[in-house]
Homo-oligomer: A and B are copies of this chain.
């Protein structure tokens, strides 16, 4: 966020610095921020606990002083989120270091990268195992206790006691998880995939890759899955992998104040991003046992450079049997997924408005846990679908209830179990295991439970519930087909339709395509369904996109994150850099007075993070010729080490400032307020030449928006300087300037910027 002196609406274009805050009014901001933490999957943080160690995010100060109310926040773009810088600042220090490094040195770096990746894989696998084992154990104890209780009371009567026991156990587990998330680390709520998606896209989501987040996430997901919620543990595992990667690759933990002094070379955004995407892949790999799918996942969700549409266009070339059926199922998945997303969207809006206090959030989570238990119990109780106990006894906890001896209640297979086991039994159980009514009722009940659950303040994923819903109606679809078709043998395998249905439902909700195909193929170990799964995912995506976006994108949008999509909106050739850029820009001179630098950095009304360095003084308001770009964080480090021209003579005794000094401060640079500069020092001069990036990317004013967008996105920039034809700085383009434009119902729309 280089320049918040930004026009707020399309019409107010000129010098509208004063118009910046029309959306801010009243004193509801703290409440609003609470709402955010409570509602969506994003929990950026409560303002009461602003961390002073955090790199300065001065909007928070502004927010504190100027509260606001934002009625339709998906039409806004938040100014709260900083951008990550995936473009190296190639200043003299950096170039000197690179040039000193031998060919062997680069080899060693490469080896170190592999070592880090190995560590990431190992630790992620360990964490995933831990989660798995803990969930299995806890759920085992719970189901065992409830089963004993049910068996006891089935004959005695008084099954309501069993219900209460079950509901209380569930609520208790969920309570612990929800408390940890709501009170300790709100960002650990939800699946974590949208946050990782944003991180890889280049948006800095505060605290998303911290150790504390990891601990709470792991604890939270164990509690919520063991608590019987309609959730999965895959999303949290992926998030865990990303956190592990961010930690390991930096060779230190800022939270634990422990620096291992290794991997210092990797302390910058570019390297960190690469490792985080590897960590996410390791997470998928651990969660689904799908390494290739993992790689594709992090490509599809992360890498800037991969155009999904192109990929999908490539794949439509194949021909097979049963295609119409699969297309129908895909469309059904798309419609149901869209329905899921729409309901969840309204629910999230409701949560943002009304359920914003942590204790309310914990109570809602407990309520959902109790309702889940009750609904499940009622389903089991009223269902009279008795099935003979198989020889192989695939059921973990077969409930006899009112069934005859040697039989078990088949509804209980679906409900009296962790969702993962339920999916497996829907895929693999032989034909005749479930009757259609059971499946229909189950689909309906679980659908609404899952919608309600997603967005609770617990760490939880949406993969497995989606698969479960889809598997249920898919199996139902298969059974109905076999009634209709004359030849039983063709439609003999309802498990196949369960798989296809699961894919359709998941695709309809999250709208991922290629990576999901490979994940599902790898997870089921069955490559022959590769094509149908692809087809179904694509149909579900197309149909679903017609109604509403994917679940993750909805939640990203509700948070007003400046997310950059693959391409600029197609109809945006009308706009040029001149109209898109922020201006005027605060520039610094190559040799600048310390006092001015401190003033510029301290100015809370125009908080910039990057400053073009110009050759000539711009006293007389004429823009200077660009000769570099320097970041706020670099200036802070320079001020902290008092690198002033006047001290150069005494500095001869001192050691010269090294790249290491910048790396040590990465990524949590101190705020300017914490640096003391005396009145004498204010009169000193600072020479920025050595530290600025001497060759920032620039574009002329006439460049069209798609062209600016392409450059920005392909190179992962944070600041793009706009110059006139004599290389004088006239503006600066940042992520928000580009993310503001999107295609709405009636063509190109512009989002409002707000200090959300």
Q: Which residues of A contact B (CB under 8 A)?
A: 88, 90, 95, 98-99, 101-103, 106, 110, 113-114, 117-118, 120-122, 124-125, 274, 277-278, 281-282, 285-286, 291-292, 294-295, 298-299, 303-306, 309-311, 313-319, 514, 517-518, 521-522, 525-528, 530-531, 534, 570-571, 573-574, 615, 625-627, 694-695, 697-700, 702-704, 707, 710-711, 714-715, 723, 725-727, 743, 747
Asked if B313 and A117 sit within 8 Å, CB to CB, the answer is yes
Residues of B within 8 A of A99 (CB): 573-574
Asked if A314 and B281 sit within 8 Å, CB to CB, the answer is yes
A310 interface neighbour in B278, B306, B518, B726, Cβ under 8 Å = B278
Closest 5 CB pairs of A and B: A121-B317, A305-B305, A98-B573, A106-B570, A695-B703
Residue of B nearest to A746 (CB): B103
Bound Cα distance from A285 to B124, whole angstroms: 34
Quick one: given A306-B305, A530-B522, are A571 and B101 in contact (CB under 8 Å)?
Answer: yes
Residues of B within 8 A of A295 (CB): 311, 314-315, 514
* 27 cross-chain CB contacts under 8 A: A88-B707, A101-B571, A102-B747, A114-B316, A117-B313, A118-B316, A122-B317, A125-B317, A274-B310, A278-B310, A282-B317, A286-B317, A291-B530, A292-B315, A292-B514, A299-B311, A303-B306, A306-B306, A526-B527, A527-B527, A626-B725, A694-B700, A695-B699, A697-B711, A698-B698, A726-B726, A726-B727
Asked if B625 and A117 sit within 8 Å, CB to CB, the answer is no
Asked if A314 and B277 sit within 8 Å, CB to CB, the answer is yes
Asked if B715 and A710 sit within 8 Å, CB to CB, the answer is yes
A625 interface neighbour in B525, B625, B725, Cβ under 8 Å = B725
Closest beta carbon of chain B to A124's beta carbon, Å: 7
Quick one: given A522-B527, A570-B103, are A124 and B317 in contact (CB under 8 Å)?
Answer: yes
Asked if B695 and A700 sit within 8 Å, CB to CB, the answer is yes
Asked if A318 and B292 sit within 8 Å, CB to CB, the answer is no
Residues of B within 8 A of A277 (CB): 310, 314
A305 interface neighbour in B278, B318, B526, B714, Cβ under 8 Å = B714
Q: Most B CB atoms within 10 A — which of A285, A314, A318, A723?
A: A314
Asked if B711 and A292 sit within 8 Å, CB to CB, the answer is no
Residues of B within 8 A of A697 (CB): 699, 711
Asked if B317 and A120 sit within 8 Å, CB to CB, the answer is yes
Identical subunits present: 2
Closest beta carbon of chain B to A571's beta carbon, Å: 6
Asked if A534 and B101 sit within 8 Å, CB to CB, the answer is no
Closest beta carbon of chain B to A741's beta carbon, Å: 13
Residue of B nearest to A696 (CB): B700
Residue of B nearest to A294 (CB): B314
Residues of B within 8 A of A121 (CB): 316-318
Residues of B within 8 A of A103 (CB): 570-571, 743, 747
Residues of B within 8 A of A98 (CB): 573
Quick one: given A625-B725, A715-B710, are A702 and B694 in contact (CB under 8 Å)?
Answer: yes
Quick one: given A570-B106, A726-B625, are A117 and B316 in contact (CB under 8 Å)?
Answer: yes
Bound Cα distance from A703 to B314, whole angstroms: 37
A117 interface neighbour in B303, B314, B527, B743, Cβ under 8 Å = B314
Residue of B nearest to A117 (CB): B313
Closest beta carbon of chain B to A283's beta carbon, Å: 10
Residues of B within 8 A of A274 (CB): 310
Bound Cα distance from A625 to B277, whole angstroms: 42
Asked if B514 and A125 sit within 8 Å, CB to CB, the answer is no
Closest beta carbon of chain B to A726's beta carbon, Å: 6
Residues of B within 8 A of A625 (CB): 725-726
Residues of B within 8 A of A114 (CB): 313, 316
Residue of B nearest to A573 (CB): B98
Q: Most B CB atoms within 10 A — which of A90, A573, A625?
A: A573
Given contacts A120-B317, A278-B313, A527-B527, 7 further A-B contacts (CB under 8 A): A95-B704, A103-B571, A106-B570, A278-B314, A295-B311, A625-B726, A627-B725
A125 interface neighbour in B102, B118, B319, B699, Cβ under 8 Å = B319
Residues of B within 8 A of A309 (CB): 110
Bound Cα distance from A707 to B615, whole angstroms: 22
A695 interface neighbour in B319, B528, B574, B702, Cβ under 8 Å = B702
Asked if A573 and B711 sit within 8 Å, CB to CB, the answer is no
Asked if B282 and A314 sit within 8 Å, CB to CB, the answer is yes
Residues of B within 8 A of A95 (CB): 573, 704
A317 interface neighbour in B101, B117, B316, Cβ under 8 Å = B117
Closest beta carbon of chain B to A723's beta carbon, Å: 8
Bound Cα distance from A95 to B292, whole angstroms: 41
Residue of B nearest to A570 (CB): B106
Residue of B nearest to A627 (CB): B725
Bound Cα distance from A99 to B576, whole angstroms: 12
Asked if B90 and A704 sit within 8 Å, CB to CB, the answer is yes
Residues of B within 8 A of A317 (CB): 117-118, 120-122, 124-125, 281-282, 285-286, 291
Residues of B within 8 A of A319 (CB): 125
Asked if A525 and B525 sit within 8 Å, CB to CB, the answer is no
Asked if B534 and A527 sit within 8 Å, CB to CB, the answer is no
Closest beta carbon of chain B to A528's beta carbon, Å: 6
Asked if A707 and B725 sit within 8 Å, CB to CB, the answer is no
Residues of B within 8 A of A278 (CB): 310, 313-314
Bound Cα distance from A704 to B87, whole angstroms: 13
Closest beta carbon of chain B to A431's beta carbon, Å: 24
A303 interface neighbour in B124, B294, B305, Cβ under 8 Å = B305
Bound Cα distance from A103 to B528, whole angstroms: 39
Bound Cα distance from A281 to B534, whole angstroms: 15
Bound Cα distance from A291 to B298, whole angstroms: 20
Residue of B nearest to A311 (CB): B295
Bound Cα distance from A295 to B313, whole angstroms: 10
Residue of B nearest to A124 (CB): B317
Closest beta carbon of chain B to A601's beta carbon, Å: 26
Residues of B within 8 A of A316 (CB): 114, 117-118, 121
Bound Cα distance from A305 to B124, whole angstroms: 27
Bound Cα distance from A697 to B319, whole angstroms: 44
Q: Most B CB atoms within 10 A — which of A101, A694, A697?
A: A697
Bound Cα distance from A518 to B570, whole angstroms: 34
Bound Cα distance from A282 to B615, whole angstroms: 54
Closest beta carbon of chain B to A625's beta carbon, Å: 6
Residue of B nearest to A724 (CB): B727
Closest beta carbon of chain B to A754's beta carbon, Å: 26
Bound Cα distance from A723 to B626, whole angstroms: 13
Closest beta carbon of chain B to A107's beta carbon, Å: 9
Closest beta carbon of chain B to A136's beta carbon, Å: 20
A291 interface neighbour in B102, B315, B700, B711, Cβ under 8 Å = B315
Q: Most B CB atoms within 10 A — which of A311, A534, A615, A711?
A: A311
